[in-house]
Structure 1
Amino acid sequence: MCTRFLFFVLVFCGCQAFAQQISPKRELRAVWIATVDNIDWPRPGDYNPASQQQSFRQILDNHRQSGMNAIFVQVRDAADAYYAKGAIEPWSEWLTGRQGRAPEPFYDPLDFMIAESHQRNLEFHAWLNLNRAVFKGHPNVTPDHVSRQHPDWMLTYDGTKFFNVGVPEVRNYITTIVTNLIRNYDVDGIHFDDYFYPYKVVGQILNDQVTFYKYGAGYANIHDWRRDNIDQLIHQISDSVKAVKPYVKFGISPFGIWRNRSSLAPDGSETRGLSSYDDLYADTRKWLQMGWIDYIAPQVYFHRGHKRVPYQPLVDWWRKNCFGRHLYIGQGAYRMNGESGWDSPDEMPIQIRFNRQHPEIQGSIYFSSRSLLNNYKGFQDTLRRDLYRLPALVPTMPWKDHTPPLPPQEFELKRTQTQVLMRWQMPPAAVDGEVPRRFVVYRFRENEPIVLNNTSKILAILPAPQTYYADTPPTRGSYRYVVTALDRLQNESYGVMTDVEVQ
């Protein structure tokens, strides 16, 4: 018989060492799903909506089985769109085979992807390429494409057309793309990759000198002006996201090196390679200092023995320079497909364990989906059997929201011959107006301490409004079940608890 009384239990943080030893309670475990050139999805030549949806569900199911709790899906490849509502750019050619052609029969891919992700308790981050307008080798754009409507906004470099972000109207245009998207879709985050000014190519010249003469008064040189253009754009988008939906996360995944340490850059890392600051004009460290972004996910796609950019010293530099914002490491899963320095199947697991030794590092994002699904070096197996065997919640962002939801109400248990059936009720909104978005179900033996940081005790993380769960205990005995609520940013409520005797 189950006891009929109900009481609140504190969500014990527990010992940090204990939590880290078992598995982190809070850790971003994410994967990039690239759509440009059909890298990850949809499959090349697959323009059938039903087939696209089936393959996307399979991708999500695979990553969920590998312990992921978030996905970052590319929804703007080259001034195009994978969504309908509020879109001012044409449908992507990699979705339907021809730019500007809508899916037939019609569906809204972004609506679909968000719904499927949230059903699986995966955060959905909309990944936009910031400055690419026309992809190299793909010149067939629609008559109303921005590159044709505003050729004066474009820079051509090595066969690709880029937005000239030195033009104020360009920055406003890109900001409008972002605000339209978050107004119309229930995304958890807005995400930019490493493309700001283009990667340098020998023999190519970036022809924005005329723009510099027009707008660059007061700058010592064109390089400082370019950096400030990107600064203004990031700041403008940050302010707009906060104004429209303050709970939406905004973050960047830049190239791994901010600056190499030198007499001109004493705060740089002990590395020798291309840098975001000097080569791409992206002062990513400043964006963290200023609080313009909620997280940074540097692409540290290097092995530990790399002569110019070794993994651990670079990651160590980032953890000392994240200024209280979240630091996720971009992991190069594709490197495990036979690249030099990645021969050992232990390389990536060692990197993940190194990350976990440092509390400033709050998770990983893997590039990309296909590489994980191909199970290079057996890494997907390692995630499932070891590193991500136990679940994890997404780290909280107290500067965005620190108010937990109210706990579940009217928690009841019923025992059958083989199962324990649980039901509870949705609580009212908390003081910040939020209701639960998820529920977490824990199970303890009667004599065990109620330590909710022990992720081995998590039975399920359920999407609201599901308010029931059925458990099959492994053996006879007395058990305690605890249910907590999570809000949008995964602040966790107090728990409600009751006991049951399984005979």
Structure 2
Amino acid sequence: MNCFRITLIAFAALLMLGCSASKQSLTRKADSTPKREFRGAWIQTVGQSRYQQMNSAAMKYYLSEMVRKLDEAGINALIFQVRPEADAFYKSSLEPWSRFLTGTQGKAPDDPDFDPLAFIIAECHKRGMELHAWLNPYRVKTNINNPLAPDHIYWKYPERFVQYGNQLYFEPGLPENRSFICDVVHDIVSRYDVDAIHMDDYFYPYPIAGTPFPDDNSFNMYAASQGFSPGQRADWRRNNVNLLIQQIKYTIAGTKPWVRFGISPFGIYRNKRNTPDGSGSDTNGLENYGDLYADIKLWVEKGWVDYNLPQLYWEMGHERADYTTLLRWWNANNFERPLYIGQDLQRSMDRNELDTKIRQSREMPFVHGNCYWYGYLILENSGGVADALKTGAHRAKALIPAYTHLHKGRPDKVKKLTQVFMEDMHFLAWEHQNQPQNPETARQFVVYRFRAGEKADINRAENIVAVTPDNFFVLPYEGGRNEYTYAVTALDAFKNEGKAAKIKVRL
């Protein structure tokens, strides 16, 4: 097989085709144990003091335990915030170490060899989980009084930043700021084995009543030449964010085309009353389109993002933003990209709604999984939420949905699947193509187990016992009394699955 190749010209042509919503039914019977389902958890670092209280050795242990606990709760994708305030939870020549990591912006961890992002990627991949690097694009200070490191880009180009309320931001209307943010994205994607770049709902800041965003200078400088009249500032702002999103997607595609770009927008795209054609949701709240200048529906339609993860944090029956109403709206307005749903764990657990919300999401044919806020509640098993997921919605493992819009194929079948006997250990071993730079070849392996007489059907999630990057699997020994069939398949970087190799063993 030739190595995977993609050009920006071909990629641009693909995006220009756009996508269209399918005509299939907007409901289906829920599968209680889906084989393919995104199960994410957000772990935010902004506002957290826990990390700065740890030395590097303690943090390694903490991060390792974090991944273990999430894995055991059925989470298969960790969305970890690595750039909370134009600073870094990783080694960067572009931005300083985060103050949320060490207590002082620009101060490195005590172990000069410790890189938190590299470490947590390795921990996730050992367990067959994904790591999505979560970046906040524009925010620089959550409080204007927070000191910036001496080498922060602000000190070199203060004219490229604006204060709004009590916070400091990159000015979204400046092309040089878009280029810098893309430089940060390229740096992460090129140097780290991340599975995705993730951004949430913070683009233009949430509006402050009676206080306009201070972008007169950039509007006067660029709007007219970009075709916007003095009365079209809202359209111009949306275009600024559109340009950023498109540029980031091209940056990722030109670096590692198998790395995805995901957005987690605010849960309301547009209210019906604000859309001339009535195409918005039957809600009455803050909007992505009109208030945050984030045209998420356009980004999905154009193919600038690889998954869409709206934050539906309201309860069922909320008078202004009912969860079920919004779930159905997003499902009906999907454009053939993976659609996941952001769930508020605390609110859902308090109202005993979590199981119902997950079941409803599984009834939507265009919804492909859920993501949970906030992830620390799972680590703490707050209110028994981790136990509830383990024994309920996540009682069987699930594979990440395949990103077939990026590549639709399958990796080669694993070869020479054998059982190896040692005096104190039994395990399976197999061979595969090892081409790290070719995303169409095996990156992970799925191990299935079936009892004697049971049909070896790899479509059943209940039979998945492991997802691993290793080409071996340690077998449990049961005194030689029981016979099983094991099946092993390969997953490529896009999560396409190859054919199964099978073997009968006695344990």
TM-score, length-scaled by structure 2: 0.89
Alpha-carbon contact 1:438-1:487 (below 8 Å) kept:
yes
| 1:256-275 CA distance string (max 9 Å, x none) | 00000125352211111000
Structure 1, gaps ≥5 residues long: 1-16, 337-341
In structure 1, distance between residues paired with 2:483 and 2:108: 57
Match of 2:50 in 1: 43
1:24 aligns with: 34
Q: Pairwise CA RMSD of aligned residues?
A: 2.4
Letter in 2 for 1:289: E
The alignment partner of 1:111 has SS state of helix
Could you give the per-residue CA deviations for residues 314-370 of structure 1, whole angstroms, max 9, x where no partner exists? 01111111200010111112435xxxxx6433x111101111112211111111121
Compared with structure 1, are the counterparts of its residues 152 and 23 closer, same or farther at alpha carbon in structure 2 (3 Å cutoff)? same
With over 3 angstroms needed to count, the CA separation of the structure-2 counterparts of 1:146 and 1:344, relative to structure 1, is same
Alpha-carbon separation, structure 1, partners of 2:315 and 2:289? 22
Offset of residue 18 of structure 1: 12
Distance 1:219 1:314 in 2: 32
The answer to whether 1:261 aligns with 2:272 is: yes
Match of 1:288 among 280, 285, 300: 300
What is the aligned partner in structure 1 of residue 384 from structure 2? 378
Residue by residue over 1:409-449, the C-alpha shift from the partner in whole angstroms, topping out at 9 and shown as x without a partner, is: 11123578998632222246599664322211212234222
Deviations 1:446-495 (A, max 9, x none): 4222211111112222223x323313459945422211111222211101
Report SS of the residue matched to 1:30. Answer: strand
Would the aligned equivalents of 1:22 and 1:455 in 2 still touch at CA under 8 Å?
no
Q: CA deviation at 1:371?
A: 2.2
Structure 2 counterpart of 1:278: 290
* Gap regions ≥5 residues in structure 2: 1-26
1:431/1:367 Cα in 2 relative to 1: closer, same or farther (>3 Å)? closer
Structure 1 residues 304-323: aligned runs within 5 Å:
304-323=316-335
SS for the counterpart of 1:327 is coil
- Matched letter for residue 71 of structure 2: R
Q: Is the 8 A contact 1:297 1:330 kept in 2?
A: yes
C-alpha contact (below 8 Å) 1:420/1:473 kept by paired residues: no
1:88 is paired with a residue whose SS is coil
Correspondence 1:129-144 to 2 at 5 A:
129-144=136-151
Q: Which residue of 2 aligns with 1:127?
A: 134
Q: Is 1:100 the counterpart of 2:106 in the alignment?
A: yes
- Structure 1 pair 21/180, CA: closer, same or farther in 2 (3 Å)? closer
Is the CA contact (8 Å cut-off) linking 1:446 and 1:479 kept in structure 2? yes
Name the count of aligned residue pairs: 475
The Cα of 1:276 is off from its aligned counterpart by 0.5
Q: Is the 8 A contact 2:28 2:364 kept in 1?
A: no
Look up the match of 1:481: 486
- Aligned residue runs from structure 1 range 271-420, under 5 A: 271-336=283-348, 343-345=350-352, 347-413=353-419
d(CA) in 2 for partners of 1:497 and 1:45? 48
Q: What is the aligned partner in structure 2 of residue 77 from structure 1?
A: 84
Distance in 2 (alpha carbons) for counterparts of 1:373 and 1:427? 36
More off after superposition, 401-410 vs 386-395:
401-410
The alpha carbon displacement at 1:223 in A equals: 0.6
> In the alignment, residue 280 of structure 1 is paired with which amino acid?
L
Quick one: distance in 2 between partners of 1:119 and 1:430?
A: 16
Q: Could you tell me whether the CA contact under 8 Å between 2:125 and 2:468 is conserved in 1?
A: no
1:208 correspondence with 2:220: no
Q: Residues of 1 paired with 2:451 and 2:103: CA distance?
A: 56
Which whole-Å CA distance do the structure 2 matches of 1:34 and 1:141 have between them? 20
Letter of the aligned partner of 2:492 in structure 1?
A: D
| Distance of 2:428 and 2:103 partners within structure 1 | 48
Report how far residue 96 of structure 1 moved. Answer: 0.9
The answer as to 2:253 corresponding to 1:235 is: no
* Match in the other structure for 2:263: 252
Distance 1:459 1:343, change over 3 A: closer
Answer yes or no: is 1:451 the counterpart of 2:457.
yes
Partner of 1:490: 495
Q: Determine what percentage of the aligned residue pairs are the same residue.
A: 38
Q: Does 1:53 align with 2:74?
A: no
Distance 2:285 2:478 in 1: 54
Separation (CA, whole Å) in 2 of partners of 1:431 and 1:116: 21
Secondary structure in structure 1 of the residue aligned to 2:291 = helix
Q: Distance in 1 between matches of 2:369 and 2:216?
A: 41
Distance 1:57 1:500, change over 3 A: closer
- 1:469 is the counterpart of 2:474: yes
Deviates more, 1:113-122 or 1:477-486: 477-486
Distance apart, 1:45 and its partner CA: 4.1
Tell whether the 8 Å contact from 1:259 to 1:265 is kept in structure 2 after alignment.
Answer: no
Which residue does the alignment assign to 1:116? 123
CA distance in 2, matches of 1:386, 1:310: 24
Give me the whole-angstrom Cα distance separating, in 2, the residues matched to 1:132 and 1:266. Answer: 33
Structure-1 separation of matches of 2:295 and 2:437: 38
Taking the aligned partners of 1:395 and 1:265, their CA distance within structure 2 comes to 33
For 1:109, give the aligned amino acid: P
Aligned amino acid, residue 499 of structure 1: K
Q: CA deviation at 1:251?
A: 0.9
Q: What's the CA shift string for 1:272-302, capped at 9, x where partnerless?
A: 1000000000000000110000011001101
Q: Secondary structure at the match of 2:312?
A: coil
Secondary structure in 2 aligned to 1:442?
strand
Residue pair 2:439, 2:492 contacting (<8 A) in 1 also: no
Which residue identity is paired with 1:350? T
Task: Work out the CA distance in 2 between the residues paired with 1:460 and 1:110.
Answer: 24
Contact kept in structure 1, 2:141 and 2:167, CA below 8 Å: yes
Indicate how the Cα distance of structure 1 residues 284 and 22 shifts in structure 2: closer, same or farther if over 3 A, else same. closer
| TM-score between the two structures when normalised by the length of structure 1 | 0.89
Partners of 2:426 and 2:417 in 1: CA distance: 13
Q: How far off is 1:138 after superposition?
A: 4.4
Contact 2:449 2:463 in 1 (8 A): yes
